[in-house]
């Protein structure tokens, strides 16, 4: 896959789709106690993440083909997010929270909102300093985006559980003086927005 991506070979689209389908997961099960993370890193997981970021942000040159449009980017990050070292590096070094929010705003597939919320939820569970992900969401003015995801949800558990988990972790971060993005503020924001509509 990496060789095809780096060679700008259009066959990489098929390899990428197959890889994402084979590894599609909507759980929050940690991979920290398995050998999979070491295997992922040894087999180019970090290179794949770096390539995806460069391609998505259009910093990869020269380029004939764009592989990571917003929906494909969310699928790949959704898969790689469960590997703690990759997720932490993505958030801390690549401004990953902002990239997820950007991809979400430009995504065309309905289910992309679930993938984006899952990524943010995983990042909030893996964060080294409580409240880091939540502060980044606020700093990028993305609370409305999260409210919109909740409004667009079907109400089905698979559609709302990551939003709920994200709000729960945000509520825990609420105990820190400088962070106040918990469930209460979210609900108040939602009510104010609905009243304005």
CA distances from 24 to 20, 121, 147 (A): 6, 16, 25
What pLDDT is recorded for position 105? Answer: 92
Kindly write down the DSSP assignment for every residue of 38-106, as one continuous string: HHHHHTTHHHHHHHHHHHHTT--SS-S-----HHHHHHHHHHHTTSHHHHHHHHHHS-HHHHHHHHHHH
> Looking at the whole model, is its pTM more than 0.85?
no
Task: Please choose, from the candidates 94, 85, 4, the residue with its C-alpha nearest in 3D space to the C-alpha of residue 45.
Answer: 85
What pLDDT is recorded for position 28? Answer: 64
The one-digit pLDDT tens for each residue of the chain (197 residues) are 888 888 888 888 888 887 777 777 766 665 554 567 888 888 888 999 999 999 999 998 877 888 899 999 999 998 888 888 888 899 999 999 999 999 999 999 988 988 999 899 888 888 888 788 888 888 888 888 888 888 888 877 777 777 777 766 544 444 443 334 444 344 334 333 443 43
Q: If you count them, how many residues does the chain have?
A: 197
Residues 158, 114 contacting (CB under 8 angstroms): yes
What pLDDT is recorded for position 187? Answer: 39
What pLDDT is recorded for position 143? Answer: 81
What pLDDT is recorded for position 3? Answer: 83
What pLDDT is recorded for position 188? Answer: 38
């Amino acid at each position: 896959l990496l060789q095809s991506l780096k060679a700008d070979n259009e066959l990489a689209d098929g390899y990428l789709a197959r890889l994402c389908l084979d590894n599609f997961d909507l759980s929050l099960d940690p991979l920290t106690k398995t050998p999979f993370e070491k295997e992922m890193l040894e087999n180019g997981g970090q290179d794949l993440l770096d390539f995806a970021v460069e391609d998505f942000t259009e910093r990869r040159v020269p380029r004939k083909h764009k592989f990571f449009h917003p929906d494909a980017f969310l699928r790949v990050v959704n898969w790689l997010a469960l590997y703690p070292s990759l997720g932490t590096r993505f958030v801390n070094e690549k401004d990953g929270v902002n990239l997820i929010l950007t991809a979400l705003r430009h995504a065309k597939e309905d289910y992309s909102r679930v993938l984006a919320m899952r990524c943010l939820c995983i990042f909030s569970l893996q964060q080294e300093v409580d409240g880091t992900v939540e502060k980044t969401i606020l700093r990028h003015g993305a609370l409305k985006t999260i409210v919109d995801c909740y409004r667009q949800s079907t109400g089905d558990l698979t559609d709302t559980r990551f939003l709920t988990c994200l709000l729960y972790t945000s509520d825990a971060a609420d105990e820190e003086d400088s962070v106040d993005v918990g469930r209460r503020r979210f609900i108040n924001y939602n009510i104010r927005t609905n009243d304005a509509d």
